């Protein structure tokens, strides 16, 4: 491997990963229909068996019950009832955030269920077809599907080729071709065969198809907490225990000072001091991250993979179809000495009219666009004899009006010229070698006329790099991600494409063993690796990678090996997946910072209110100038509940991610969410206190 040098391109913002596709609701909370659908689920989540999974919110639930019981003992105590009511609202708001996130997934699941129909399969048994319910199919069964049939289960095409409508799965209306014996053999249950006849070998048991797995995923049933999320839950639980001990031991000191506090005030203090904001939003952040992947037609088979995508430091990308368009295109006509470019272009276009390959069509288009030669058609040359391109001859051409023109691989064209007594100038060989060294593919063009057989020049074919790829790789570099292009091409061609695309490194003439060795080498250095693939030969590397994205068009082996499946089969989406993973981690970190900073500010509201009567000096800490102890405590509790509501859209949509260094990102988050978390309570609590002071008896 070698590392090509590259020039940085102008900045292109890839931070739009937080933008929902058209027709999607980004935040979702303020959609009245969504709120109404989610509210019953939020109430059902008040079940202690559910709440105990979130230690922070379980403490808030217990506090709500305790304050309610105390308020019942003194029905005339408006302060107790107000605290109890707002603690219940805090709990409901937290559940509502999770319910809204899950509700968006359920809406998608309903759409997917429409595609999941009970089909009758035509199973092959000893050469005969037998109609059986799709639910009776087992792994290894062979089923026949013809035009109009619904594919009864996930599988691989083992015979035939057909056009398949996958719009129910991918949302893409254009049909796709599925055929046996290649990397585009996989079919998904629930899709519709539009033409021809195929035989499919079933590869999944009933109830475990991709549609079933997607439904479970988007409904949250299959979403398990990731290691980072578990670690953060442990931290929040530890903080909750610390604050609980602090509040419990506060009462003896208060009694000693002659300022006994009611259990309602102590409960309010505890709820305000523990990190309720992040505790309430943590689950919603994770669900929303998975939801953003589903919106982009990516099926994440593991929540761990989504987080790993955010920490990826090495990205392995296939060249063909990912970095390049996949088809070689004619880029230039290079004539030999004594021949004009126009002559060469005319002969090249004529000899390519019988070549139906993408390369042949690109020669015709280039001659038309660059030299003004109108695009001729075979029908216009009625007396012509056409020589179609074949893999055996590696040439195409035409015989018309005394002119014979040929275009093709250098060896084939040279042999054709010499058979007719012509010579080949050294100039042609030098031009071909120069193009090969630059990573291109040379095609010779020759003619035979009254002057004899001779080579006119060379067509430069090159694999065209997709537009904007250099800018995208520059953005990945700014993220701290190293990009490696993997290709089966020779090192010269690989080096040329790598330099043009701007990747950091490349692996040429790559075998499955080479890919595995590269991934293991990167991982041995403590790096997380992501790669994409679609073939059976990619399966070992996909399984080894920390983030393995398999194409839906690929083989079942590839899809089973990876931990993500791209239903659109767009290899460049791997770059988007990395952005979504980073956004998930940043959102969680930003809101955790905001939540902890919030707690600091609440000290200045509640502690002076509790002890200012006994210790007048503490009134100096009442920097907000709150009206009364009751108003201060109630204002803090109300703010604590409302800030959850205010942050739900941000939790669901995600913090906007901008590719930058870790240090810059940390300073930005501390400046916005750390400082914002300190300032917001001062403003919010004071505003609520001013409103409460307007109520008679509270000031």
Q: Which residues are identified as catalytic?
A: 318
Structure tokens at 355: 């070549």
Per residue, what are the HEC states of 376-395?
Answer: CCHHHCCCCEEECCCCCCCE
Token couple for 101: 């996130």
- Pairwise CA distance, residues 43 & 92, whole Å: 7
Is 396 part of any known ligand binding site? Answer: yes
Q: Is 389 annotated as a binding residue?
A: yes
As a whole number of Å, the CA-based R_g of the chain is 34
Tell whether residue 355 is among the known ligand binding residues.
yes
Beta-carbon contacts of 328 under 8 Å, excluding residues fewer than 6 positions away, are 358, 359, 362, 441, 461, 462, 463, 464
Determine whether the annotation assigns residue 391 to a binding site.
yes
Q: Report whether 393 belongs to an annotated binding site.
A: yes
- Cα–Cα distances in Å, from 138 out to 153, 255, 368? 9, 72, 55
Q: Which helix (H) or strand (E) holds 120?
A: strand 120-125
Name the residue among 538, 465, 452 with its Cα closest to residue 502. Answer: 465
**Residue 294, SS3?**
helix
30 is known to lie in a ligand binding site: no
Task: Compute the distance between CA of residue 194 and CA of residue 145 in angstroms, rounded to an integer.
Answer: 10
Residue 656: DSSP 8-state? P
Using DSSP, state whether 452 is helix, strand or coil. Answer: strand
* 361 annotated to a ligand binding site: no
Give the integer Cα–Cα distance in Å for 324 and 466. Answer: 5
Asked if residue 394 belongs to a known ligand binding site, the reply is yes
| 652 close to 101: Cβ distance less than 8 angstroms | yes
Tracing tokens 């790829």 back to the chain, one arrives at: 469
CA distance 311 to 304: 11
Q: Name the pairing type of β-strands 128-133 and 505-507.
A: unpaired
Spatial separation of the C-alpha atoms in residues 66 and 84, rounded to whole Å: 8
DSSP string over 546-603: SEEEEETTS-HHHHHHSSEEETT--TTHHHHHHHHHHHHHHHHHHHHHHHHHHHHHHH
Alpha carbon 689 to its chain centroid, in Å, reads 44
As a whole number of angstroms, the distance between CA 656 and CA 666 comes to: 14
CA angle 343, 360, 327 (to 5 degrees): 130
- Confirm or deny that 195 is annotated as ligand binding: no
Residues 154 and 202: beta-carbon distance below 8 Å: yes
Please report where in the chains the tokens 């054709």 appear, as a residue. 416
Residue 395 is labelled as binding a ligand = yes
Q: Name residue 566's beta-bridge partners.
A: 298, 551
DSSP-derived letter for residue 258 is: T
DSSP string, 16-69: GGGPPPTT--SS-TT-HHHHHHHHHHHHHTTSHHHHTTSHHHHHHHHHHHHHHH
C-alpha to C-alpha distance for 600 and 14, rounded to whole angstroms: 35
Q: How far is it, in rounded angstroms, from Cα 242 to Cα 262?
A: 20
Structure tokens at 430: 């030098």
Query: In angstroms, rounded to a whole number, what is the distance separating the alpha carbons of residues 583 and 564?
Result: 17
Q: Please report, in range form, the residues annotated as the binding site for Mg(2+).
A: 534, 538
Q: Please report, in range form, the residues annotated as the binding site.
A: 355, 359, 389-396, 407, 534, 538
Q: Please report, in range form, the residues annotated as the binding site for ATP.
A: 355, 359, 389-396, 407
């Amino acid at each position: 491997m070698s590392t090509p040098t590259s020039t940085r391109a102008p900045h292109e913002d890839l931070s739009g990963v937080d933008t929902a596709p058209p027709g999607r609701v980004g935040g979702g909370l303020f959609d009245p229909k969504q709120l109404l659908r989610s509210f019953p689920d939020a109430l059902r989540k008040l079940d202690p068996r559910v709440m105990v999974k979130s230690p922070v919110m379980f403490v808030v639930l217990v506090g709500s019950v305790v304050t309610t019981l105390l308020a019942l003992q003194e029905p005339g105590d408006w302060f107790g009832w107000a605290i109890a009511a707002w603690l219940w609202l805090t709990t409901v708001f937290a559940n509502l955030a999770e319910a809204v996130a899950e509700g968006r997934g359920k809406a998608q699941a309903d759409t997917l269920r429409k595609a999941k129909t009970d089909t009758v399969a035509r199973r092959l048994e000893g050469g005969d077809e037998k109609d059986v319910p799709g639910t009776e199919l087992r792994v290894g069964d062979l089923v026949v599907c013809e035009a109009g049939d619904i594919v009864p289960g996930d599988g691989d095409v083992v015979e035939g080729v057909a056009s398949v409508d996958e719009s129910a799965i991918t949302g893409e209306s254009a049909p796709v071709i599925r055929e046996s014996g290649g990397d585009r053999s996989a079919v998904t249950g629930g899709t519709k065969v539009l033409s021809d006849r195929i035989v499919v070998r079933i590869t999944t048991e009933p109830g475990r198809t991709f549609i079933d797995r997607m439904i479970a995923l988007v409904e949250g049933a299959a979403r398990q907490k990731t290691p980072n999320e578990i670690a953060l839950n442990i931290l929040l639980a530890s903080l909750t225990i610390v604050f609980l001990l602090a509040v419990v031991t506060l009462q003896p000191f208060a009694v000693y000072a002659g300022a006994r506090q009611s259990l309602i005030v102590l409960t309010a203090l505890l709820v305000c001091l523990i990190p309720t904001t992040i505790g309430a939003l943590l689950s919603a952040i994770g669900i929303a991250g998975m939801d953003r992947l589903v919106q982009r037609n990516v099926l994440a088979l593991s929540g761990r993979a989504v987080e790993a995508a955010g920490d990826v430091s090495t990205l392995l990308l296939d060249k063909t179809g990912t970095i390049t368009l996949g088809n070689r295109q004619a880029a230039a006509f290079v004539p030999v000495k004594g021949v004009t470019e126009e002559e060469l272009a005319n002969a090249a276009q004529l000899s390519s009219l019988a070549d139906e390959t993408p390369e042949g069509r690109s020669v015709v288009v280039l001659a038309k666009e660059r030299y003004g030669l109108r695009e001729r058609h075979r029908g216009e040359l009625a007396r012509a004899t056409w020589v179609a391109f074949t893999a055996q001859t590696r040439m195409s051409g035409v015989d018309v009006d005394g002119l014979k023109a040929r275009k093709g691989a250098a060896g084939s064209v040279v042999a054709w010229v010499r058979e007719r007594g012509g010579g080949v100038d050294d100039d042609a060989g030098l031009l071909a070698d120069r193009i090969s060294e630059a990573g291109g593919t040379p095609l010779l063009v020759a003619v035979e006329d009254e002057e004899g057989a001779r080579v006119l020049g060379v067509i430069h074919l090159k694999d065209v790099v997709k537009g904007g790829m250099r800018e995208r790789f520059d953005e990945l570099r700014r993220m701290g991600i190293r990009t490696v292009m993997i290709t089966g091409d020779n090192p010269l061609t690989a080096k040329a494409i790598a330099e043009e695309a701007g990747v950091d490194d490349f692996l040429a003439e790559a075998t499955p063993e080479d890919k595995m060795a590269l991934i293991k080498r990167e991982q041995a250095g403590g790096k997380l690796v992501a790669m994409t693939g679609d073939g059976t030969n990619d399966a070992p590397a996909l399984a080894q990678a920390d983030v393995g994205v398999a194409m839906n068009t690929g083989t079942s082996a590839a899809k089973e090996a990876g931990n993500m499946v791209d239903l659109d089969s767009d290899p460049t989406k791997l770059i988007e997946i990395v952005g979504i993973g980073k956004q998930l981690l940043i959102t969680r970190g930003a809101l955790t910072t905001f939540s902890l900073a919030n707690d600091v500010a609440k000290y200045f509201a509640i502690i002076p209110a509790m002890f200012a009567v006994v210790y007048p000096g503490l009134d100096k800490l009442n920097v907000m100038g709150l009206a009364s102890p009751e108003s201060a405590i109630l204002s803090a509790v109300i703010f604590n509940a409302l800030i959850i509501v205010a942050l739900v859209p941000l939790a669901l949509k995600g913090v906007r991610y901008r590719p930058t260094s870790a240090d810059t990102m940390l300073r930005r988050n501390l400046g916005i969410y750390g400082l914002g978390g300190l300032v917001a309570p001062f403003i919010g609590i004071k505003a609520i206190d001013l409103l409460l002071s307007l109520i008679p008896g509270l000031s």
